[in-house]
A = this chain, B = another copy of it.
Amino acid sequence: MGRRLKLGMIGGGQGAFIGAVHRLCARMDDKYEFVAGCLSSTPEKAAKSAEEIGLDPSRSYPDFKTMAEEESKRDDGIDVVSIVTPNHMHAAPAIEFLNKNVHVICDKPMTSTMEDAHKLVDAVSKSDAHFFLTHNYSGYPVVRGMRSLIENGVLGKIRIIKGSYLQGWLGSKEEDSGSNKQAEWRTDPSRSGAAGGVGDIGSHTMHLLEFITQLKLQSVSADLTTFVEGRKLDDDASIMIRLNNGAKGFIIYLSSCYRRRK
């Protein structure tokens, strides 16, 4: 490889969940060097977050436009940027960096609206840089092994497929606790989009199901529920599915399967 890729990050500051995981994994692989970031949409918080994790202050930016501008001018500017913001903030920075021909690693779901999705697809088609969506479970050996069993015909023709993703962290009204940033934006249609759990963990399940079987979802019949009173987005789903080879099955996810004990 010659050298480590220079990595930037949008989001992932204080109170965030997944940004630190991305940085940890980048260190584990030892193929990246984390050198720049706009770790929060609040400039002050971005600066504090950078200081906290030891990022060079001169490469901590108050907003992603400045970061794209400055980093693309430097000889030692970032090769790739990782976008770990709430869903509604995926498209804008992704387009900005793609326009500067900086590669983009973007969290799923791709965007929170179809309109954003179309704009992003357009930007990707015009850019020299690559765009990657973090359907991260496809990297697990067990997932590759499952896909391989099917690809090699060991399981024969697939008749029935089940996927489930069970969580319980949204079993109570965490978004009102005042201390759970992720719960706040994930249950807020303006930041998360129209899908709650379906967008968050249902999207993983659907991707895995298609990735492993190499079949395509053809139709769904879904029973979405909001179990936690006053919440605006779904926190549970049972989804019956049919696939393009005649296989059937279902996907379920639960963000609310238990209530946190006090």
> Interface residues, chain A, CB within 8 Å of chain B?
3-4, 24, 27-28, 30, 53-54, 156, 159-160, 162, 221, 223, 225, 227, 236, 238, 240, 242, 248-250, 252, 254, 256-259
Contact = CB atoms under 8 A, between A and B. Distances in A.
Given A159-B236, A160-B227, 8 more contacts: A27-B28, A28-B28, A30-B53, A159-B256, A160-B257, A162-B252, A223-B242, A240-B240
Contacts of A4: 54
A67 to B, nearest CB: 22
Each complex incorporates copies of this chain amounting to 4
A221 B248 contact: no
B27 A236 contact: no
Contact of A250 (B28, B156, B252): B252
Nearest to A222: B240
A3 B52 CA distance: 10
A238 B164 CA distance: 14
10 contacts: A4-B54, A159-B227, A159-B256, A160-B227, A221-B221, A223-B240, A223-B248, A236-B248, A238-B240, A250-B250
Contacts of A236: 159-160, 248
A165 to B, nearest CB: 13
B238 A250 contact: yes
Given A238-B249, A250-B250, A250-B252, A259 B156 contact: yes
Contacts of A159: 227, 236, 256-257
Contacts of A3: 54
Contacts of A24: 28, 30
Nearest to A34: B30
Nearest to A228: B159
Q: Tell me which of A4, A160, A223, A242 has the highest count of chain B C-beta atoms within 10 A of its own C-beta.
A: A160
Contacts of A249: 238
Contacts of A238: 240, 248-250
A245 to B, nearest CB: 12
